[in-house]
Amino acid sequence: MDEALIRSLTPGVLTVLVRRGADFAAAEDAVQDALVEAVRGWPDDPPRDPKGWLVTAAWRRFLDAARADTARRRREDRVEEEPAPGPAPGVDDTLQLYFLCAHPSLTPSSAVALTLRAVGGLTTRQIARAYLVPEATMAQRISRAKRTVSGVRFDRPGDVATVLRVLYLVFNEGYSGDVDLAAEAIRLTRQLAASVDHPEVAGLLALMLLHHARRAARTAPDGSLVPLAEQDRGRWDTVSIAEGVRILQAALARDRLGEFQAQAAIAALHADAPTAGETDWVQIVEWYDELARLTDNPVVRLNRAVAVGEADGPRAGLAELAALDDTLPRHTAVAAYLHERDGDLDTAARLYAEAAHKAPDLAERDHLVRQAARLNSRHRQRR
Protein backbone atom coordinates (compact mmCIF):
# COMPACT_ATOMS: atom_id res chain seq x y z
CA MET A 1 0.00 0.00 0.00
CA ASP A 2 1.20 3.49 -0.87
CA GLU A 3 0.21 5.29 2.32
CA ALA A 4 1.36 8.68 0.99
CA LEU A 5 -0.90 8.27 -2.06
CA ILE A 6 -3.88 7.32 0.12
CA ARG A 7 -3.42 10.34 2.34
CA SER A 8 -2.98 12.71 -0.58
CA LEU A 9 -6.23 11.49 -2.17
CA THR A 10 -8.33 11.67 1.00
CA PRO A 11 -9.26 15.39 0.96
CA GLY A 12 -10.21 15.30 -2.73
CA VAL A 13 -12.48 12.30 -2.24
CA LEU A 14 -14.13 13.92 0.77
CA THR A 15 -14.85 17.15 -1.10
CA VAL A 16 -16.42 15.22 -4.01
CA LEU A 17 -18.94 13.65 -1.61
CA VAL A 18 -19.71 16.98 0.02
CA ARG A 19 -20.22 18.58 -3.39
CA ARG A 20 -22.69 15.82 -4.24
CA GLY A 21 -24.80 16.69 -1.21
CA ALA A 22 -23.45 14.59 1.65
CA ASP A 23 -23.10 16.42 4.95
CA PHE A 24 -19.53 16.65 6.21
CA ALA A 25 -19.81 14.18 9.09
CA ALA A 26 -21.49 11.46 7.01
CA ALA A 27 -19.10 12.03 4.11
CA GLU A 28 -16.05 11.76 6.34
CA ASP A 29 -17.30 8.50 7.86
CA ALA A 30 -17.95 7.10 4.37
CA VAL A 31 -14.46 8.05 3.18
CA GLN A 32 -12.88 6.35 6.20
CA ASP A 33 -14.86 3.19 5.42
CA ALA A 34 -13.66 3.34 1.82
CA LEU A 35 -10.06 3.70 2.98
CA VAL A 36 -10.41 0.57 5.11
CA GLU A 37 -11.76 -1.26 2.07
CA ALA A 38 -8.82 0.02 0.01
CA VAL A 39 -6.30 -1.18 2.57
CA ARG A 40 -7.82 -4.65 2.36
CA GLY A 41 -8.18 -4.91 -1.40
CA TRP A 42 -5.62 -2.75 -3.16
CA PRO A 43 -2.48 -4.80 -2.40
CA ASP A 44 -3.95 -7.73 -4.39
CA ASP A 45 -5.90 -5.74 -6.98
CA PRO A 46 -4.73 -2.12 -7.34
CA PRO A 47 -7.16 0.11 -9.29
CA ARG A 48 -6.16 2.02 -12.44
CA ASP A 49 -7.84 5.17 -11.10
CA PRO A 50 -7.29 5.22 -7.30
CA LYS A 51 -9.22 8.43 -6.68
CA GLY A 52 -12.16 7.30 -8.83
CA TRP A 53 -12.22 3.98 -6.99
CA LEU A 54 -12.28 5.72 -3.62
CA VAL A 55 -15.02 8.14 -4.71
CA THR A 56 -17.21 5.26 -5.92
CA ALA A 57 -16.62 3.17 -2.80
CA ALA A 58 -17.18 6.10 -0.44
CA TRP A 59 -20.36 7.18 -2.25
CA ARG A 60 -21.76 3.66 -1.98
CA ARG A 61 -20.96 3.62 1.72
CA PHE A 62 -22.71 6.95 2.11
CA LEU A 63 -25.79 5.68 0.25
CA ASP A 64 -25.92 2.55 2.37
CA ALA A 65 -25.73 4.60 5.57
CA ALA A 66 -28.33 7.08 4.31
CA ARG A 67 -30.79 4.33 3.42
CA ALA A 68 -30.28 2.61 6.76
CA ASP A 69 -30.89 5.76 8.77
CA THR A 70 -34.62 6.35 9.10
CA ALA A 71 -34.00 9.92 10.20
CA ARG A 72 -32.52 10.64 6.77
CA ARG A 73 -35.20 9.08 4.59
CA ARG A 74 -36.24 12.50 3.38
CA ARG A 75 -32.88 12.77 1.67
CA GLU A 76 -33.34 9.64 -0.43
CA ASP A 77 -34.61 11.55 -3.43
CA ARG A 78 -31.34 13.41 -3.51
CA VAL A 79 -29.01 10.46 -3.02
CA GLU A 80 -30.92 7.70 -4.82
CA GLU A 81 -29.20 8.06 -8.16
CA GLU A 82 -25.65 6.81 -7.95
CA PRO A 83 -23.36 8.43 -10.53
CA ALA A 84 -21.87 5.94 -12.97
CA PRO A 85 -18.35 4.83 -12.08
CA GLY A 86 -15.66 6.64 -14.00
CA PRO A 87 -12.70 9.01 -13.65
CA ALA A 88 -13.02 11.39 -10.71
CA PRO A 89 -13.37 15.11 -11.46
CA GLY A 90 -10.09 16.95 -11.80
CA VAL A 91 -11.22 19.92 -9.69
CA ASP A 92 -9.24 20.19 -6.45
CA ASP A 93 -11.45 21.36 -3.60
CA THR A 94 -8.77 20.80 -0.97
CA LEU A 95 -8.57 24.52 -0.20
CA GLN A 96 -12.26 24.62 0.74
CA LEU A 97 -11.69 21.63 2.99
CA TYR A 98 -8.90 23.51 4.77
CA PHE A 99 -11.25 26.42 5.37
CA LEU A 100 -13.95 24.10 6.70
CA CYS A 101 -11.62 22.34 9.11
CA ALA A 102 -10.28 25.69 10.37
CA HIS A 103 -13.76 27.13 10.90
CA PRO A 104 -13.80 29.89 13.54
CA SER A 105 -16.52 28.08 15.52
CA LEU A 106 -14.02 25.32 16.36
CA THR A 107 -11.52 25.45 19.19
CA PRO A 108 -7.87 25.38 18.07
CA SER A 109 -7.41 21.79 19.33
CA SER A 110 -10.54 20.62 17.50
CA ALA A 111 -9.51 22.41 14.31
CA VAL A 112 -6.10 20.75 14.42
CA ALA A 113 -7.59 17.29 15.00
CA LEU A 114 -10.16 17.68 12.22
CA THR A 115 -7.52 18.97 9.80
CA LEU A 116 -5.27 15.99 10.49
CA ARG A 117 -8.19 13.60 10.03
CA ALA A 118 -9.97 15.11 6.99
CA VAL A 119 -7.10 16.79 5.12
CA GLY A 120 -4.14 14.80 6.42
CA GLY A 121 -5.83 11.43 6.13
CA LEU A 122 -4.57 10.27 9.54
CA THR A 123 -6.58 7.80 11.57
CA THR A 124 -8.07 8.71 14.92
CA ARG A 125 -5.61 6.34 16.58
CA GLN A 126 -2.62 8.06 14.93
CA ILE A 127 -3.83 11.50 15.97
CA ALA A 128 -4.49 10.33 19.53
CA ARG A 129 -1.00 8.86 19.79
CA ALA A 130 0.54 12.02 18.41
CA TYR A 131 -1.21 14.10 21.08
CA LEU A 132 -0.70 11.49 23.80
CA VAL A 133 -4.41 11.23 24.65
CA PRO A 134 -6.70 8.17 24.72
CA GLU A 135 -8.16 7.21 21.37
CA ALA A 136 -11.70 7.54 22.76
CA THR A 137 -10.99 11.12 23.84
CA MET A 138 -9.72 12.05 20.40
CA ALA A 139 -12.67 10.30 18.73
CA GLN A 140 -15.07 12.42 20.79
CA ARG A 141 -13.17 15.59 19.91
CA ILE A 142 -13.29 14.80 16.20
CA SER A 143 -16.97 13.82 16.34
CA ARG A 144 -17.88 17.11 18.03
CA ALA A 145 -15.87 19.04 15.45
CA LYS A 146 -17.60 17.23 12.57
CA ARG A 147 -21.01 17.99 14.02
CA THR A 148 -20.06 21.65 14.39
CA VAL A 149 -19.12 22.10 10.74
CA SER A 150 -21.73 19.78 9.21
CA GLY A 151 -24.09 22.65 8.43
CA VAL A 152 -21.43 24.96 7.02
CA ARG A 153 -21.80 25.62 3.30
CA PHE A 154 -18.79 25.17 1.05
CA ASP A 155 -19.48 28.33 -0.96
CA ARG A 156 -18.50 30.73 1.80
CA PRO A 157 -15.12 32.47 1.54
CA GLY A 158 -12.55 31.06 3.92
CA ASP A 159 -9.92 32.81 6.02
CA VAL A 160 -6.39 31.88 4.96
CA ALA A 161 -4.98 33.36 8.17
CA THR A 162 -7.05 30.93 10.28
CA VAL A 163 -5.89 27.98 8.21
CA LEU A 164 -2.27 29.06 8.64
CA ARG A 165 -2.73 29.31 12.40
CA VAL A 166 -4.00 25.72 12.50
CA LEU A 167 -1.09 24.45 10.41
CA TYR A 168 1.36 26.36 12.60
CA LEU A 169 -0.16 24.68 15.68
CA VAL A 170 0.29 21.28 14.03
CA PHE A 171 3.94 22.06 13.21
CA ASN A 172 4.76 23.22 16.73
CA GLU A 173 3.57 19.90 18.17
CA GLY A 174 6.68 18.37 16.58
CA TYR A 175 7.05 14.62 16.99
CA SER A 176 5.29 12.21 19.34
CA GLY A 177 3.71 8.81 18.95
CA ASP A 178 4.03 7.23 15.51
CA VAL A 179 3.28 10.40 13.52
CA ASP A 180 5.81 13.15 12.80
CA LEU A 181 3.49 16.17 13.05
CA ALA A 182 6.19 18.63 11.95
CA ALA A 183 6.70 16.69 8.71
CA GLU A 184 2.93 16.32 8.34
CA ALA A 185 2.46 20.08 8.74
CA ILE A 186 5.04 20.70 6.02
CA ARG A 187 3.25 18.28 3.71
CA LEU A 188 -0.12 19.93 4.31
CA THR A 189 1.33 23.43 3.87
CA ARG A 190 2.89 22.39 0.56
CA GLN A 191 -0.54 21.16 -0.46
CA LEU A 192 -2.09 24.47 0.57
CA ALA A 193 0.59 26.43 -1.30
CA ALA A 194 -0.32 24.50 -4.45
CA SER A 195 -3.97 25.51 -4.01
CA VAL A 196 -3.71 29.21 -3.17
CA ASP A 197 -1.35 31.97 -4.30
CA HIS A 198 -0.69 33.84 -1.06
CA PRO A 199 2.66 35.20 0.20
CA GLU A 200 1.92 34.27 3.81
CA VAL A 201 1.32 30.64 2.82
CA ALA A 202 4.75 30.72 1.22
CA GLY A 203 6.12 32.45 4.32
CA LEU A 204 4.80 29.72 6.60
CA LEU A 205 6.18 26.97 4.36
CA ALA A 206 9.59 28.69 4.33
CA LEU A 207 9.50 29.06 8.12
CA MET A 208 8.69 25.38 8.61
CA LEU A 209 11.44 24.25 6.26
CA LEU A 210 14.06 26.47 7.90
CA HIS A 211 13.15 25.34 11.41
CA HIS A 212 12.82 21.68 10.46
CA ALA A 213 16.25 21.81 8.79
CA ARG A 214 17.84 22.17 12.26
CA ARG A 215 15.95 19.27 13.79
CA ALA A 216 18.75 16.69 13.77
CA ALA A 217 21.05 19.04 15.68
CA ARG A 218 18.55 20.12 18.35
CA THR A 219 19.06 17.13 20.65
CA ALA A 220 22.10 15.25 21.91
CA PRO A 221 22.31 11.44 21.73
CA ASP A 222 20.93 11.27 25.29
CA GLY A 223 17.87 13.30 24.26
CA SER A 224 18.92 16.53 25.98
CA LEU A 225 18.31 19.87 24.29
CA VAL A 226 21.16 21.57 22.41
CA PRO A 227 20.81 25.38 22.27
CA LEU A 228 21.04 27.02 18.85
CA ALA A 229 24.46 28.53 19.56
CA GLU A 230 25.90 25.10 20.43
CA GLN A 231 24.37 23.08 17.59
CA ASP A 232 26.56 21.25 15.09
CA ARG A 233 25.68 23.19 11.95
CA GLY A 234 27.11 20.43 9.82
CA ARG A 235 24.03 18.40 10.78
CA TRP A 236 21.63 21.01 9.44
CA ASP A 237 19.71 20.02 6.31
CA THR A 238 21.16 22.37 3.69
CA VAL A 239 18.69 21.24 1.01
CA SER A 240 15.73 22.29 3.14
CA ILE A 241 17.47 25.54 4.05
CA ALA A 242 18.07 26.37 0.41
CA GLU A 243 14.47 25.60 -0.47
CA GLY A 244 13.17 27.66 2.44
CA VAL A 245 15.32 30.66 1.52
CA ARG A 246 14.24 30.44 -2.13
CA ILE A 247 10.55 30.33 -1.20
CA LEU A 248 10.99 33.20 1.26
CA GLN A 249 12.80 35.42 -1.24
CA ALA A 250 10.01 34.94 -3.77
CA ALA A 251 7.40 35.82 -1.14
CA LEU A 252 9.24 38.91 0.09
CA ALA A 253 9.63 40.14 -3.49
CA ARG A 254 5.85 40.56 -3.64
CA ASP A 255 6.09 43.32 -1.00
CA ARG A 256 3.14 42.03 1.07
CA LEU A 257 4.93 41.36 4.33
CA GLY A 258 3.21 39.23 6.96
CA GLU A 259 4.24 37.74 10.27
CA PHE A 260 5.20 34.32 8.92
CA GLN A 261 7.46 35.90 6.31
CA ALA A 262 9.11 38.00 9.05
CA GLN A 263 9.62 34.92 11.24
CA ALA A 264 11.06 33.05 8.26
CA ALA A 265 13.46 35.93 7.59
CA ILE A 266 14.78 35.63 11.16
CA ALA A 267 15.17 31.86 10.76
CA ALA A 268 16.97 32.42 7.44
CA LEU A 269 19.49 34.76 9.07
CA HIS A 270 20.27 32.10 11.69
CA ALA A 271 20.62 29.49 8.93
CA ASP A 272 22.89 31.75 6.89
CA ALA A 273 25.48 32.20 9.65
CA PRO A 274 28.41 29.75 9.33
CA THR A 275 28.90 29.95 13.12
CA ALA A 276 26.88 31.33 16.01
CA GLY A 277 29.40 34.14 16.42
CA GLU A 278 28.82 35.30 12.84
CA THR A 279 25.05 35.70 13.24
CA ASP A 280 23.81 39.06 11.97
CA TRP A 281 22.03 40.07 15.18
CA VAL A 282 21.57 43.68 14.10
CA GLN A 283 19.47 42.60 11.13
CA ILE A 284 17.61 40.09 13.31
CA VAL A 285 16.63 42.93 15.67
CA GLU A 286 15.32 44.86 12.66
CA TRP A 287 13.18 41.90 11.64
CA TYR A 288 11.86 41.57 15.20
CA ASP A 289 10.89 45.24 15.00
CA GLU A 290 8.87 44.43 11.87
CA LEU A 291 7.35 41.38 13.54
CA ALA A 292 6.39 43.37 16.64
CA ARG A 293 4.76 45.99 14.41
CA LEU A 294 2.76 43.29 12.62
CA THR A 295 1.64 41.32 15.70
CA ASP A 296 2.08 43.44 18.84
CA ASN A 297 2.82 40.10 20.50
CA PRO A 298 4.61 40.20 23.89
CA VAL A 299 6.40 36.91 23.15
CA VAL A 300 7.88 38.54 20.04
CA ARG A 301 9.15 41.38 22.25
CA LEU A 302 10.65 38.82 24.62
CA ASN A 303 12.58 37.22 21.76
CA ARG A 304 13.57 40.68 20.57
CA ALA A 305 15.12 41.36 23.99
CA VAL A 306 17.39 38.34 23.47
CA ALA A 307 18.39 39.64 20.03
CA VAL A 308 19.08 43.11 21.44
CA GLY A 309 21.22 41.49 24.12
CA GLU A 310 23.28 39.83 21.39
CA ALA A 311 23.47 42.89 19.14
CA ASP A 312 24.02 45.66 21.72
CA GLY A 313 25.17 43.80 24.80
CA PRO A 314 23.43 41.98 27.67
CA ARG A 315 22.61 45.14 29.63
CA ALA A 316 20.72 46.53 26.67
CA GLY A 317 18.84 43.24 26.50
CA LEU A 318 18.04 43.38 30.21
CA ALA A 319 16.74 46.93 29.80
CA GLU A 320 14.36 45.69 27.09
CA LEU A 321 13.35 42.77 29.28
CA ALA A 322 12.56 45.05 32.24
CA ALA A 323 9.78 46.67 30.21
CA LEU A 324 7.98 43.32 29.73
CA ASP A 325 5.60 41.39 31.96
CA ASP A 326 7.68 38.98 34.05
CA THR A 327 4.88 36.38 33.91
CA LEU A 328 5.51 35.81 30.19
CA PRO A 329 6.49 32.22 29.34
CA ARG A 330 10.30 31.83 29.41
CA HIS A 331 10.80 35.38 30.75
CA THR A 332 12.83 34.00 33.68
CA ALA A 333 14.96 31.82 31.40
CA VAL A 334 15.77 34.82 29.18
CA ALA A 335 16.68 36.87 32.26
CA ALA A 336 19.00 34.07 33.42
CA TYR A 337 20.74 33.94 30.04
CA LEU A 338 21.26 37.71 29.86
CA HIS A 339 22.55 37.90 33.44
CA GLU A 340 25.03 35.13 32.63
CA ARG A 341 26.16 37.06 29.55
CA ASP A 342 26.61 40.10 31.80
CA GLY A 343 28.82 38.15 34.20
CA ASP A 344 26.36 37.97 37.13
CA LEU A 345 26.62 34.21 37.56
CA ASP A 346 24.99 33.99 40.99
CA THR A 347 21.82 35.72 39.77
CA ALA A 348 21.89 33.69 36.56
CA ALA A 349 22.13 30.38 38.44
CA ARG A 350 19.23 31.34 40.72
CA LEU A 351 17.09 32.37 37.74
CA TYR A 352 17.93 29.20 35.78
CA ALA A 353 16.73 27.11 38.74
CA GLU A 354 13.59 29.24 39.03
CA ALA A 355 12.93 28.92 35.29
CA ALA A 356 13.27 25.14 35.50
CA HIS A 357 10.25 25.00 37.82
CA LYS A 358 8.21 26.90 35.21
CA ALA A 359 9.39 24.90 32.17
CA PRO A 360 6.58 23.64 29.90
CA ASP A 361 8.13 20.24 29.27
CA LEU A 362 10.62 17.79 30.74
CA ALA A 363 13.37 18.37 28.14
CA GLU A 364 13.41 22.12 28.72
CA ARG A 365 13.29 21.66 32.49
CA ASP A 366 16.28 19.32 32.44
CA HIS A 367 18.21 21.75 30.22
CA LEU A 368 17.60 24.64 32.64
CA VAL A 369 18.54 22.50 35.64
CA ARG A 370 21.84 21.65 33.94
CA GLN A 371 22.48 25.34 33.24
CA ALA A 372 21.94 26.17 36.92
CA ALA A 373 24.16 23.27 38.02
CA ARG A 374 26.92 24.36 35.60
CA LEU A 375 27.02 27.89 37.05
CA ASN A 376 26.82 26.68 40.64
CA SER A 377 29.75 24.37 39.98
CA ARG A 378 31.81 27.25 38.60
CA HIS A 379 30.91 29.32 41.66
CA ARG A 380 32.12 26.57 44.02
CA GLN A 381 35.37 26.21 42.07
CA ARG A 382 36.06 29.93 42.44
CA ARG A 383 35.58 29.61 46.20
Distance, CA of 19 to CA of 213 (rounded, Å): 39
pLDDT of residue 244: 97
Positions in the chain whose pLDDT score sits under 50: 71-72, 75-84, 86-92
pLDDT of residue 71: 47
Judging by beta carbons within 10 Å of its beta carbon (0-12, 13-18, 19+), is residue 217 exposed, middle or buried? middle
List phi, psi (to 5°) of 176: -160, 155
Helix, strand and coil in the chain, % to nearest 5: 70, 0, 25
pLDDT of residue 360: 84
| SS3 state of residue 219 | strand
pLDDT of residue 175: 58
Report in angstroms the alpha-carbon separations of 206 from 228, 231, 379: 19, 21, 43
pLDDT of residue 180: 81
Handedness of CA 114, 118, 123, 127 (dihedral sign): negative
Distance, CA of 259 to CA of 249 (rounded, Å): 15
Residues 168, 171, 175, CA angle at the centre, nearest 5°?
A: 160
Distance, CA of 348 to CA of 218 (rounded, Å): 23
**Residue 179 β-bridge partners:** 176
Distance, CA of 332 to CA of 86 (rounded, Å): 62
pLDDT of residue 93: 56
pLDDT of residue 125: 85
Report in angstroms the alpha-carbon separations of 270 from 158, 207, 264, 284, 358: 34, 12, 10, 9, 27
CB 173 within 8 A of CB 184: no
Collect all residues with Cβ–Cβ distance below 8 Å to 275 and sequence separation of at least 6.
233
One-letter identity of residue 32 = Q
**Residue 175 β-bridge partners:** 180
